[in-house]
Amino acid sequence: MWLAAIQLVSGRNWQDNREQIAAELAALPKERPLLVLLPENFALFGERQGYLDGAEAIGMGSIQQQLAEWARGYGIWLVAGAMPTTIAGSDHIHTSSLVFDPSGELQGHYHKIHLFDVDVADNHGRYRESETFSPGDAPVLVDSPFGPLGLSICYDLRFPELYRQLARVGARVLLVPAAFTAVTGEAHWEPLLRARAIENQCYVVAANQGGTHETGRQTWGHSMVIDPWGRVLASKESGRGTILAQMEPGFIDELQRTMPVLTHARLL
């Protein structure tokens, strides 16, 4: 069983981003089953109006059609890290993660719960996702051959209670598509990812954007696959590329038997 993360430096245009993703998928190894995670904003990386114009209803649209074709054509579990999706009757949208199985069927989706409304000491400075997006309101677990997949997006990573809730209901792989800024990423990205893996005894697959974008925003990269002991199995520092690591489901079972932290946890 293999886990992969594709790192991109996405721009405003879906067709350009599509070509980059297609090139990475075409170079995938032949081993199956294979789970592939795309980063946040894989389809569109720009400003508010671009997200609003490019948003699709869940289960509809050309971007989702392409994702389904890729999943089916390559026989992979493809997790569309995060893309804009519409909300009926609202002038806001969701940023959503979608899970496609090897037959191209949409098996589940998750709307980002925690919105990035912060000030960062970088060349962008002010981030207010709530001006464009509405938050989701529920954790999501999707069944797969890799075990239940716990979905999350970027800023969610700072909220351990979400991942503990996913672990308590059986998550074995935690997915973290992101567009972490260079400033916050350098300080916190790897420690947070490794903590989520260790404390929940899960594999973590994190696909980040990794470079300087058309908008001038700078993202941290360092996409990673981390095992339940907190070891980084694969990582890519910057730029476009794919990382790959093997999953050993028995390792999770052994850890849960010898160090049953979820059983020991006490809610105070």
Q: Report helix angle 14-26 to 62-74, nearest 10.
A: 10
What contacts 47, CB < 8 A, 6 or more positions away?
215
Active site residues: 40, 112, 154
Confidence band of 266 (pLDDT split at 50, 70, 90): confident
Residue with tokens 């090139």: 23
Rounded Cα gap, residues 55 and 46, in angstroms: 13
Pick the more confident residue, 129 or 75.
Answer: 75
- Token readout for 149 is 């997949």
Over the stretch 131-181, which tens digit does the pLDDT of each residue have? 999 999 999 999 999 999 999 999 999 999 999 999 999 999 999 999 999
Residue 126 CA from chain centroid, whole number: 23
CATH number of 2-264: 3.60.110.10
Q: Report helix angle 160-168 to 190-200, nearest 10.
A: 30
Over the stretch 213-224, which tens digit does the pLDDT of each residue have? 998 899 999 999
Residue 46 CA from chain centroid, whole number: 18
Rounded Cα gap, residues 62 and 53, in angstroms: 13
Domain ranges of the chain: 2-264
Q: What are phi and psi of 96, to 5 degrees?
A: -130, 145
- Residue 249's alpha-carbon distances to 5, 13, 99, 228, 233, in angstroms, are 18, 38, 20, 10, 15
Over the stretch 43-77, which tens digit does the pLDDT of each residue have? 999 888 999 999 999 999 999 999 999 999 999 99
Alpha helices for 77-141 (secondary structure H): none
Q: What CA dihedral angle connects 138, 17, 208 and 38, to 10 degrees?
A: 50
State the pTM of this model: 0.96
